[in-house]
Amino acid sequence: MSYPTYLLLLLGILLIFSQASYGQIVLTQSPDYVSVSPGETVTLTCKAGSSVTDSEGDNWIACTNTRRGLAHKD
């Protein structure tokens, strides 16, 4: 193979690995929305479309509680 062919092959391999390593994670919340009265308890489920842990099992995502007009709390 000529030099340009090797270079294109190397670039193709790097592109494949970079896309596999840094893809987007899709989060799905259920239910989409909920309406409750003050004092009621709300339970939401959130699922990730891909793994959100590292090789040691540590999570790389956190849930927060946000209310309109107020700062979020963990």
Q: What is the pLDDT of residue 12?
A: 73
What global pTM score does this model have? 0.41
Q: What is the pLDDT of residue 64?
A: 67
Q: What is the pLDDT of residue 36?
A: 84
Residue 48 lies in a domain: yes
What is the per-residue burial (b if ≥16 Cβ within 10 Å, else e) of 16-55? eeeeeeeeeeeeeeeeeeeeeeeeeeeeeeeeeeeeeeee
Residue 19 lies in a domain: no
- The whole domain housing 33 covers 25-74
User: In the chain, how many domains are there?
Assistant: 1
Residue 31 lies in a domain: yes
Confidence of residue 9 (pLDDT cuts 50, 70, 90): confident
Chain segment 25-64, per-residue pLDDT in tens: 778 888 878 888 888 888 888 887 777 777 787 777 766 6
Residue 55 lies in a domain: yes
Q: What is the pLDDT of residue 2?
A: 64
